[in-house]
Structure 1
Amino acid sequence: MRKNRQSPLRGIDGCRRAVWHLTLFPEIKGWDVLLLFNDLRNGLMNMLRNKKFFLLPATLFCLLNLLTLAQAETPVDHLHLLLKEALSHNLEIASLEEKTRALQLEAPSAGSLSDPRITLALVNLPTDSFSFRQENMTQKQLGIAQGLPWFGVLSLKEKNAELRARQQEELTRAKRLSVARDLKLAWYDLALVQEKLKSNEQIHKLVRQLLVVSETRYAAGKGLQQDVLFAQVQLSELQNDKISLGIERNSLQDRIGNLLDRDDLYRGTAPAYTLDDQLSLNQESLVAQSLERNPSVVSQKLAIIIAKNKVKLAEKAYMPNMDLRLAYGQRDSSDTMPRSDFVSAGITFTVPLWQSRRQDSQLGGSKRRVRSARYTLESLEKSLPHRVDGLVTVINESFKNYRLYSKGIEMQAEQLARASLAAYSVGSVEFLTMLNAEIKQEKVKLAAKRYLYKIYKKNAELEELVGQPVSIGREV
């Protein structure tokens, strides 16, 4: 008989081994964490079954350590979580999804026959006696009729209904991409505002320190009063900028909360971002992807197919529709003569008598719709490559600017700030020159961040055009 596997962590010895393992091997990760967590859970269940409650504290300690390790193993992608929330809670997207499901459910009905018609009738009943036996042609009749369109009409109608459902899917996907773009733009703007607040705080801290120095030098007769006043004015301007940035931050948080469709206010913060060392966007590949996956392009291609099917339907409208009828008439026999029952059958055709005003007009309009759909698709296919090229160009040029600032100008500004501070300490440069050099260093860092988030924002617009994610960097 197969033996059941026993948990290696039973009782206090198992918990001691777990603590020993976590202490000596803190780098435990991945499946090791999951397996050890599973063993601890089994051990905890064994303790509860055996009523060894005095062992629970040690086991719970091990579980908490493992949970901490498991959480540390998976970095949180804040933007991904917000996108997931926005796309699942947005009411406009939910409305479009329900409309898509409705069209999908309604599609089979477009290809089905109309309901048959049942006829119940009294035929040739004499009004003098209302007797069913008096006249030979008096009968009680039961009939059924079924309308039949021309061959192929129903299948074309069902195909068009299915294509309209697919069109609605693309409209829903376009809305999802639009919401994702708006959320990303607001998110990256929020991240940039937080960088500005951080820079403002750094400059504020620096100016306060320099203000103390200038006041000390002025009190000792070695500095100028204008240095003190300039530092105070600079602090006031920084405080004003901080207030404005706080208002902008709250506005962006409200915009994000609106996109998330939350009842409560969103007051989260965005993490810092970085870029890969090499940014390589294949323009030809992105253009090809946009022409293949862009929701507007896909929807318009479906519109052309629908329009062509309508042309076929308009051509079939010249052919007659049929109406089949079958009836059974029951007669009552008289006292002197038996009477047999009747069976009747018939078929009715439509005649395109008003062809010039009806069928011809429908066919001409359907052909025009095909041309219109083709022109719209051609316009999209011509404009998309230019839009993609424009975004890729902005991203590539902004990346060059970002690299120039982050790898070159930042270092130069730092060297300038150090040299100015050293020169000021020995009286070689004025206070204003030294302070401007320090502020310049922070502004250069902020300029690099502006290019960084400009790249991310343009990439968000590019993803909407391409119809899928385009990876360029990551959260720090």
Structure 2
Amino acid sequence: MTSFQSPWGFLFAAVASAWCFAAGAQEVPPGADVQSLLVIARERNPEYSGMRYEAQAAAERVAPAGALPDPRLRVELMDITKAGEQNPTLLPNQVGSTRYTLMQDVPWFGKRDLKRDIAALEAQGAEGRALGTWAELSSRIKSAYAQFYYLHQSERLTTEILDLMARLEQVAQSRYAGGLAVQQDIIRAQVEQSNMRNELIALENERRMVQARLNALLARPANAALAPPERLRPMPLATRLAYGALEERVRGHNPQLFSEDAKLRAAEKTRELTYKNRYPDFNVSVAPVQYGSAIKEWGLMVELNIPLQQSSRRSQEREAEAMLSAARVRREAAANQVLSELAENLSGLDAARRTEMTTSTSLLPQSELTFKSALASYENTKVDFATLLDAQRQIRQAKQNQIKAQLEAQIRLAEIEKLIGEDL
């Protein structure tokens, strides 16, 4: 009996273990890298979803804009009493005659195409606004994630320095016990640790606020868990950050410029349509006439409006010209602003990268050597504890400058990618 049940028990345990492992894997929170957050934001962020629906709605307006108006049918019952020979009736075959008029409004040649083109350009503008919303959203997520990484690294650095200060306190206590140091050294070490614990509290609070901000961008609960940030995005090569190449990409892919360009072309089409309003629109109708049960007459009518209100049309034309000029100016202003921001962020990115390189290759190694020398000199009673604390602070400051430069570079990179409308 035991040998029969054993395989089934083993199979059940294996299935249960696999299910638990899969469930655990599904519960791993996002946030190890920024790409996992961007995927969630693209699917869930309500602001971006709303802009996509608006762009979809604008695209659906293109076909109706160029379509003919619905035709109209008019039914006229003539002489419903047959000159008083019968009671009134509404039956077409029993009245004197019945006229059926089928009417269709027809705009002047080219107006429908212009209306369709205007709607298509407005749809492009809506698509540009949706792209701009995503560019802004992704930039905010990238920047917030970089700050999240910075705070996480700052907490880790402060914890490491706190452990170091605890060891220095032990060194000071040993020297004080041997009569080689004063009690003030121990107190200074303890005060330094208390300050670092307060800094840890502030860093933790700031990290929670950034986490809540990230969750809001992802349309998740504010207190939803995020995985510890493991890595920042790699920085692009310097050759890819040349201003000339990026300027061309900005002019061709920037969502704001794309939207403004669509508005400019729509204004040009609107002006052309306004000038076409100088010409009349038509109404064409066919009217068969029924006598008794037979159609015995046919009528054909062509109707047109007479554009006599010239002062009104001239005002509309001047309005269209002014709107076109405004669209051109806005397009130029947007281009100037975007290119100015591009140059500013490229300069900031270059400065951040050089600062990080200088800190990593020069300042940090020098600070570490200074601390080792100060520690050895303190143990040999050649320097006081204040000098040792200054050396420790130099190391900490150098490491903080390093991760702060990484944060600045990531924020600048996110802004540049927002401007060019795509990742580098």
Which TM-score tier does this pair reach, normalised by the shorter chain?
A: 0.7 to 0.9
Work out which of the residue numbers 298, 304, 307 in structure 2 matches 1:349: 304
Q: Which whole-Å CA distance do the structure 1 matches of 2:370 and 2:65 have between them?
A: 76
Query: Which residue type is aligned with residue 247 of structure 2?
Result: V
Q: Deviation string for 1:119-144 (max 9, x for gaps)?
A: 111124457525499xxx93122221
Work out which of the residue numbers 31, 40, 55 in structure 2 matches 1:100: 55
Query: Which residue type is aligned with residue 227 of structure 1?
Result: D
Work out which of the residue numbers 92, 114, 119 in structure 2 matches 1:156: 114
Shift of 1:442: 2.3
Q: More displaced, 259-268 or 404-413?
A: 259-268
Shift of 1:77: 6.5
**After superposition, where does 1:217-256 map in structure 2 within 5 Å?**
217-256=175-214
Greater relative contact order (Cα < 8 A, sep 6+): 2
Structure 2 residue 249 is the aligned partner of structure 1 residue 289: yes
Structure 2 residue 348 is the aligned partner of structure 1 residue 414: no
Shift of 1:289: 0.6
Number of aligned residues? 404
Query: Which residue type is aligned with residue 143 of structure 1?
Result: T
Structure 1 pair 130–407 and aligned structure 2 pair: CA distance change class (3 A): farther
Q: 1:401, 1:451 within 8 Å by CA — same for their partners in 2? A: yes
Query: Which residue type is aligned with residue 158 of structure 2?
Result: N
Q: 2:33, 2:231 within 8 Å by CA — same for their partners in 1? A: no
**After superposition, where does 1:66-465 map in structure 2 within 5 Å?**
78-126=33-81, 129=84, 131=86, 138-263=96-221, 265-268=223-226, 269-273=228-232, 279-280=238-239, 281-332=241-292, 341-357=296-312, 359-465=313-419
Q: Which whole-Å CA distance do the structure 2 matches of 1:318 and 1:278 have between them?
A: 58
Query: Which residue type is aligned with residue 108 of structure 2?
Result: W
Q: 1:395, 1:459 within 8 Å by CA — same for their partners in 2? A: yes
**Identity across aligned pairs (percent)?**
23
Q: Which whole-Å CA distance do the structure 1 matches of 2:83 and 2:298 have between them?
A: 26
Q: 1:291, 1:384 within 8 Å by CA — same for their partners in 2? A: no
Structure 1 residue runs without a partner (length 5+): 1-51, 68-75, 334-338, 471-476
TM-score, reference length from structure 2: 0.88
Query: Which residue type is aligned with residue 293 of structure 1?
Result: H
Q: Which whole-Å CA distance do the structure 1 matches of 2:141 and 2:371 have between them?
A: 38
Shift of 1:163: 1.2
Query: Which residue type is aligned with residue 138 of structure 1?
Result: G
Q: Deviation string for 1:35-65 (max 9, x for gaps)?
A: xxxxxxxxxxxxxxxxx989979x99xx99x
Query: Which residue type is aligned with residue 126 of structure 2?
Result: Q
Q: Residue 280 of structure 2 aligns to a residue in which SS?
A: coil
Q: Which whole-Å CA distance do the structure 1 matches of 2:144 and 2:292 have between them?
A: 84
**After superposition, where does 1:30-69 map in structure 2 within 5 Å?**
none
Structure 1 pair 152–323 and aligned structure 2 pair: CA distance change class (3 A): same
Q: Which whole-Å CA distance do the structure 1 matches of 2:400 and 2:108 have between them?
A: 71
Structure 2 residue 424 is the aligned partner of structure 1 residue 466: no
Shift of 1:382: 2.4
Query: Which residue type is aligned with residue 149 of structure 1?
Result: P
Q: Residue 143 of structure 1 aligns to a residue in which SS?
A: strand
Q: Residue 273 of structure 1 aligns to a residue in which SS?
A: coil
Shift of 1:345: 1.4
Shift of 1:375: 0.8
In structure 1, what is the equivalent of residue 27 of structure 2? none
Structure 1 pair 424–79 and aligned structure 2 pair: CA distance change class (3 A): same
Query: Which residue type is aligned with residue 312 of structure 1?
Result: E
Q: Deviation string for 1:12-42 (max 9, x for gaps)?
A: xxxxxxxxxxxxxxxxxxxxxxxxxxxxxxx
Q: 1:204, 1:238 within 8 Å by CA — same for their partners in 2? A: yes
Shift of 1:145: 0.7
Query: Which residue type is aligned with residue 100 of structure 2?
Result: L
Shift of 1:274: 7.5
Structure 1 pair 468–401 and aligned structure 2 pair: CA distance change class (3 A): same
Query: Which residue type is aligned with residue 246 of structure 1?
Result: E
Shift of 1:415: 0.7
Shift of 1:217: 2.1
Q: Residue 265 of structure 1 aligns to a residue in which SS?
A: coil
Structure 2 residue runs without a partner (length 5+): 1-6, 23-30, 89-94
Q: Deviation string for 1:196-230 (max 9, x for gaps)?
A: 11111011101111112212322332210111111
Q: Residue 140 of structure 1 aligns to a residue in which SS?
A: strand
Q: Which whole-Å CA distance do the structure 1 matches of 2:170 and 2:204 have between them?
A: 27
Query: Which residue type is aligned with residue 158 of structure 1?
Result: R
Q: 1:132, 1:138 within 8 Å by CA — same for their partners in 2? A: no
Q: Which whole-Å CA distance do the structure 1 matches of 2:105 and 2:236 have between them?
A: 70
Q: 1:405, 1:447 within 8 Å by CA — same for their partners in 2? A: yes
Q: Deviation string for 1:411-447 (max 9, x for gaps)?
A: 1111101111111111111112112212321221121
